Chains A and B, each alone.
Chain A
């Protein structure tokens, strides 16, 4: 993929959030996107047309992360109110509230079958919540982390969590093993490569680290941006050719995956870019920022 194909042109600005937007996520097919922020709402957008579709209000504090099922029927969200909400997308009602985290919940994800919500909390734990039954108790608590868990990522068989204790821990359900990769730096964000072989970990020393999942080897480090105090997202492009991430100075960075050179950087927001999400198929990207906007980028 050439550099020109990178989404660097602003197509739409999704305005509506009052206060910072803490996360923006494409849905499974990339037709919609969700954002959540400090105004305690979750908003559903059509990023391609720049239309605000729906607002989900129920959280008592800021909403830190949101995720949608592959069939677009359910949402899960989490935030500062220490709860994980399980929403019905169409009606906008909360189906279930999962309480149990002792601290703020930093990240949340559905599993492949949308049957389990896994949340990462400040209480140093990952918790798995059952969406099928009516139980509001977690079906599993993973508390081997030594510090706040900032981000969670799921595969078909694994739960991957990144924590401030500097570890990326992979919990393989299939073999019942926990693999802890200590990066030595607080991990803000873990995201999977599209081929599933690598983990991109955003660390608080202003670097992104690419880990080989099978060996735990550090493949590459991506530097240049600023990330020292905020929880910033990072991800790989849909072709796995580039690594992208926001910076605390409002810039967006694109690195080449292999040689870690900054391919492109441009000012996207006036403030910290909290989240980036890349379209699953097209060259499109949404970014959110503390400045209260969500921007849609295309080539």
Chain B
């Protein structure tokens, strides 16, 4: 509308219609025209533009003058300049009157402002100001190198005040003091007159006193007087010597013309401080003492006035009584004026009325030093004999290689340790006891005696070291005693085995193994496996048992390891590899069993080793599979579990639910503690499984095992055993290693997702670093192999769901290969159930992917691990039963990789059969298209692509990175990671949760793909 009107041009005044003009408006117009102004003030009405009366002030009944509640202007009252002092405090200026003046007022004021003219500007301030202003003005006009006004210090006014000019004209020269010389003459005359008068009215000594004083007084007031008049003196202010102590007005001097009385005043003042003797002075020596005795201290009394009764000192009453205590007599009767002064100074700090005593009762007590008996010889004898030095010079037994028999060696070690600790007596005792036992022949010079003596010596050295260190810490351990071995012991290393020991070894692998074992010595503690020898899982086959023991020794002891072929030289490589796997499994089972026993002695490890076969390590899981009912009962016992926590609904939620906030007014609750332990500890899981299984089955295993242990243990061993046991308990897997590799799932999941997001990058980087260093330093594969040993046996017979879980949980490199073996061997059995191969594929893949990621790291970090990878990668080939040629290549580390292309091809083809079955299975399940998106069942395409990607991965192993497969690989890894994520998440709920992991995974699966991008990044960083 408005825009329309703007287009037109109007001429003239539009005629307003009558009804438009309300009466109010009329009034407003009338007011505007000034009609109302004629009215008196109280009758005037204020109206707004609309003509409405402005009512203002309900109680006063008044009408506002225009702009109500304001200062009467349209803008209202606003401070001239409002500045928040919050931010710029420095800029906030103080107001002065000019701030409140209008311009015209200022102009008015300008003329009336007082100022000194330059003529009377004594100190030149005004001149300086003017000069400065002038300089500023000029500064603005001319360009200058120095921007801004010139500093004041530089621009000094060149004017002289009138006073200075006058003085100069009067003959004053600069630097000279200004003094009236005539005043002195007048003063002197007046003083002479006063002296004469006083001489009449007072005693003689008083006159003497006054005569001696005036000069001093004068010199105080007029210091210049003493100086030569001609002397130049700076006109600096006189230093005030006497602080003002009186109550006179400032500048008032009652003794102005009578300096004599000033001296009289002085003792008066001091009498206030020390009332004792000064009282005497005041009475005796005062000028007016004769007349009144108590005169006011000259307050308001002129020198020439008479003393009346009213002048008596009304305040100084109490002193008369105290006079009795004053030792007047002892004072010299005639006191010179200097004396009291001196006395004052001397006695300052003493209490008045007291004097320093001449003799004191207190005496410093001194004691005589004790008398040394005459027969004392200053020589200390220590209670214990220091026999270290004697021992050091003992002949060191030659270093002897330990006996071949591991048991014997252990025995000797143990006995030596004991003897060293308990003394020779023990040796004799055991020798006596085991006279007939051929094992203990080393005590009496039989086989291994040399080794025993050596060991004993070492142990004694060790003991001595400890005792000597306790006895005196100062004594440095002698260098000769610190042999390499003892040092190694101190550092917790294990002695390397003599390489001469292994007679027939494939030399190709020894150097690699050396590295292995070297790292082992640092990671393992010495007496780990001492018990391992005692448990004999392969007791049916003594040769194999021996090999197993050898294996254990290698596994846990480290040191230079004899090649595995030393004992089983006749075996083929493939058989040996299989055996090795079974050994590992058995070892883990033993260890697990022991751990289980450590906490629950009644439960025995449930090992059931079938010698000879491939399925040698059938552990408790087999039985578990057989016993679904038992498991069911167990699960029913465990679930549902009810827990209660505090939970705080937000107040708004309560409001919306129309409920009263239960936490109204209460402080916020502490965040719930989520223990990190359940996600961190890997071992607990396996142990738990064992515990749960324990009571259900394999009771029969208990007895033979325990018997075994009992049989093999001699008395001397028991102690060692317990020691070993304890140590075994303490040995943990390198947790941070796992954390490093699988950090994102292991410890993060328990936490809040948001926290996770924040922490992850740093943590991972840090952890990855430690992992890398560990990879280089430690034996990575070895530990993984141990992991494998723990986990594989439970998985094997229970592949459908378990295997995947464990694969995702433990990420074992060897796993896939193992499963391969299993599969290839047991195809006949397994194919009867279609589900199992299908699922096994999955688990297999999971394991493979994990292994691959690890491989990648290893290849980059070090080549220590080459042997391990070789073994692992070659397993599939082996499992295919290809040939021995392949197997031999395994040993030669890297070369074998080239075979994988072909081997994996074969593997794929073999899998093809399985896959077909699983496909069938799936077809029954669902139609393909929808399923893939929403649900998690693996579609055919995906599986294929996975296989594909796996193939590519292998290619990557072969040397080059395959960019084409990158995406798939990443996706896959992320997927497998997701799987892991879930599994670790529920680790805390022991085994039964594992069952649901499969479905859980699958129900969440569709998300994995979406998250894969972010996860992929993570993975890469790893």
Which residues of A does B touch, CB under 8 Å? 19-20, 22, 38, 62, 102-104, 111-113, 115-116, 122-124, 128, 130, 132, 139-140, 142-144, 146-148, 150, 156-157, 164-166, 168, 171-186, 188, 203-205, 209, 211, 215-218, 228-231, 248-249, 270-272, 290-291
Contact = CB atoms under 8 A, between A and B. Distances in A.
Nearest to A125: B753
B898 interface: no
A217 B640 CA distance: 7
A209 B635 CA distance: 13
Nearest to A142: B647
Interface residues of B, number: 59
Given A217-B640, A228-B998, 13 more contacts: A156-B657, A166-B989, A166-B993, A176-B647, A180-B644, A183-B639, A184-B640, A204-B1003, A205-B995, A209-B640, A211-B640, A229-B935, A272-B926
A76 B658 CA distance: 20
Contacts of B641: 181-182, 184, 216
A59 to B, nearest CB: 14
B978 to A, nearest CB: 11
Interface of B: 635-636, 638-650, 652-654, 656-660, 662-663, 672, 749-750, 752-753, 925-927, 930-931, 933-937, 982, 985-986, 989, 992-993, 995-996, 998-1000, 1002-1007, 1010-1011
Contacts of A147: 982, 985-986, 1000, 1004
A290 B926 contact: yes
A140 B649 contact: yes
Contact of A144 (B645, B650, B1000): B645
A183 B1007 contact: no
Q: Pick from B652, B927, B982 the residue with the most CB of A within 10 Å.
A: B652
11 contacts: A38-B934, A122-B1007, A140-B649, A166-B993, A171-B647, A174-B660, A178-B647, A182-B642, A184-B989, A204-B996, A271-B930
A158 B407 CA distance: 67
Contacts of B638: 184
A70 to B, nearest CB: 14
Nearest to A62: B934
Contact of A128 (B653, B1006, B1011): B653
Contacts of A38: 930, 933-934
Contacts of B935: 229-230, 272
B645 A182 contact: no
Nearest to A206: B999
B406 to A, nearest CB: 46
A178 B989 contact: no
Contacts of A182: 639-643, 989
B648 to A, nearest CB: 6
Given A123-B753, A144-B672, A186-B999, A230 B934 contact: yes
B999 A228 contact: yes
A124 B1002 CA distance: 16
A139 B475 CA distance: 71
B647 A229 contact: no
A180 B645 CA distance: 8
A150 B1006 CA distance: 13
A219 to B, nearest CB: 10
Contacts of B931: 272, 290
Cβ-closest 8 pairs across A and B: A204-B999, A216-B642, A178-B647, A176-B662, A184-B639, A229-B1002, A182-B641, A186-B1000
A176 to B, nearest CB: 4
Nearest to B651: A139
A111 B1002 contact: no
B640 A218 contact: yes
Contact of A177 (B647, B659, B1006): B647
A215 B926 CA distance: 38
Contact of B996 (A156, A157, A179, A186): A186
Contacts of B663: 176
A124 B753 contact: yes
A186 B1004 CA distance: 10
Contacts of A132: 656
Nearest to B636: A218
B753 A19 contact: no
Contacts of A144: 645, 647, 672
Residue among A20, A116, A176 with most chain B CB within 10 A: A176
B447 to A, nearest CB: 59
A180 B635 CA distance: 17
Given A123-B753, A148-B1007, A166-B986, A204 B643 contact: no
Contacts of B985: 146-147, 165
Given A123-B753, A130-B656, A179 B640 contact: no
Contacts of A103: 1007, 1011
Contacts of A156: 657
A112 B653 CA distance: 12
A113 to B, nearest CB: 6
A131 to B, nearest CB: 8
Contact of A180 (B643, B659, B998): B643
Given A38-B930, A140-B653, A184-B638, A229 B999 contact: yes
A184 B647 contact: no
A176 B753 CA distance: 23
A271 B635 CA distance: 31
Contacts of B652: 130, 139-140
A202 to B, nearest CB: 11
B927 A171 contact: no
Contacts of A102: 753
Given A144-B647, A178-B647, A229 B1003 contact: yes
Contacts of A22: 934
Contacts of A173: 649, 653-654, 657, 659, 662
A261 B133 CA distance: 109
A290 B930 contact: yes
Given A111-B656, A271-B930, A164 B647 contact: no
